[in-house]
Amino acid sequence: MSLLSVRNLVIDYARTRALDGAGLEVAQGESVGVVGESGSGKSTLGSAVGRLLPRAARRTEGEVLVAGEPVFDLPAARLRHLRRKHLGFVFQDPIGSLDPTMRVGDQLRLVLGRGGDVRFHLGRVRLDDPRVLRAYPHQLSGGMAQRVAIAMAMATSPDLLVADEPTAALDSQVREEVSDVIFTLAAEAGTSILWLSHDLPAVARRCDRVAVMYGGRVVESGPAAQVLGHPAHPYTAALARSAPAAAAHGVRLEPVPGRPPVLTGPSPGCAFAPRCAFAEDRCAHERPAPVRVREQDVLCHKAIELEDRLTAPIEPAPIEPAPIEPAPIEPAPIEPAPNTTEVTA
């Protein structure tokens, strides 16, 4: 049985459909990277795991099971228990996720309860300076604050840690150290990780499996090396192709010309169709059903047909003879598109 099971999850904000039938399975002890452009629904999915969605959000369809427990249908007490003992969360803004009015040591003690060894837990996140205990969150660097947040999230050795871009706000050097801390602690505790990220190379290095989101659905999932090395969905292929350069410059991913959709209701077909080099008529009108390609689960009408044609980097090569002049390559925009503002980190 999966530790986490997300089934056909539909989440609506007032006018936006953030998840449009998302599905995902995470096994005990496994690390799963969730990737996709801004607005694809990663944070909404991550928050839904603990039913930590903003007030405006509504679960319209589907369910989330954590160790078999239906998160959206649990009585308050059971939900609290699940959050406290079985789930951990780490977010992008570490200082904001700590209580600004309380010393770090006191916050840790509150989480650990009586008998909890505060120094031990700080040591595990490689914070050995006792001054940290007396500090207020705003006196810490981003990297230190994130380590404190990790110590708190991992204190109970949860079954699942949801990490929503935990290193995105940190310097690149600190980023690796903080990622190391998370993955090492999780491996020791047998904790599964759901790692929401824009950083494809990092996900490829660290995660067992990858789930690629587009338009509020998981359009491809499978073993990391398979998904990123031999993508089965045209969107994954485009994303994988664009990743190294984009990630290196800290640019938000913009793999193919055009914008990701902002849905107001169910997508009538494949949400990627307008940007897809391989789209045909039905892609715009029929929602693709999941198909299995090699070790991947894919939502694409053309996945079987494209099986041997998609590689990373892809060549959506024209069948006609090569033109004399090289085709213009659309430059990736340096500025983020206007709809990339963080609504939730």
Nearer to Ni ion, 149 or 300 (CB): 149
Kindly state the tokens that stand for 240. 């994988």
Residues 192-211 binding ligand ATP (CB under 6 A) are none
44 binds Ni ion (CB under 5 A): no
Where do we find the tokens 């007032």?
Answer: 14
Residues 286-345 binding ligand ATP (CB under 6 A) are 342-344
| Chain length of the chain | 345
Residues whose CB falls within 8 Å of the CB of residue 86, separated by 6 or more in sequence, listed in order: 66, 67, 158, 159, 160
54 binds, among Ni ion, ligand ATP, none (CB under 5 to 8 A by kind): ligand ATP
Which of 43, 197, 226, 267 contacts Ni ion by CB under 5 A?
Answer: 43
16 binds ligand ATP (CB under 6 A): yes
Kindly state the tokens that stand for 18. 């953030």
Q: Which residue is nearest to Ni ion (CB)?
A: 43
13 binds ligand ATP (CB under 6 A): yes
41 binds ligand ATP (CB under 6 A): yes
Residues whose CB falls within 8 Å of the CB of residue 207, separated by 6 or more in sequence, listed in order: 31, 32, 33, 193, 195, 224
Q: Least distance (Å) from ligand ATP to the CB of residue 230?
A: 24
- Report how far residue 223's alpha carbon sits from residue 230's, in angstroms, rounded to the nearest whole number: 10
What is the 3-class SS of 75-112, one letter each residue?
CHHHHHHHHHHHEEEECCCHHHHCCCCCCHHHHHHHHH
Nearer to Ni ion, 41 or 269 (CB): 41
167 binds Ni ion (CB under 5 A): no
Which of 54, 96, 229, 333 contacts ligand ATP by CB under 6 A?
Answer: 54
Q: Which stretch binds ligand ATP (CB under 6 A): 10-18, 119-127, 183-191, 321-329?
A: 10-18
Q: Least distance (Å) from ligand ATP to the CB of residue 11?
A: 8
Nearer to ligand ATP, 146 or 156 (CB): 146
222 binds, among Ni ion, ligand ATP, none (CB under 5 to 8 A by kind): none
- How many other C-beta atoms can be found within 10 angstroms of the C-beta atom of residue 59? 18
CA angle, residues 91, 147, 185, in degrees to nearest 5: 95
- Report how far residue 97's alpha carbon sits from residue 222's, in angstroms, rounded to the nearest whole number: 31
Closest CA to 216 of 15, 4, 16: 16
Q: Which stretch binds ligand ATP (CB under 6 A): 40-48, 128-136, 279-287, 323-331?
A: 40-48
Residue pair 294/45 in contact by the 8 Å Cβ criterion:
no
Q: Which stretch binds Ni ion (CB under 5 A): 16-24, 38-46, 116-124, 177-185?
A: 38-46
The residues that touch Ni ion, with contacts defined as CB under 5 A, are 42-43
The residues that touch ligand ATP, with contacts defined as CB under 6 A, are 13, 16, 18, 36, 38-44, 54, 56, 262, 342-344
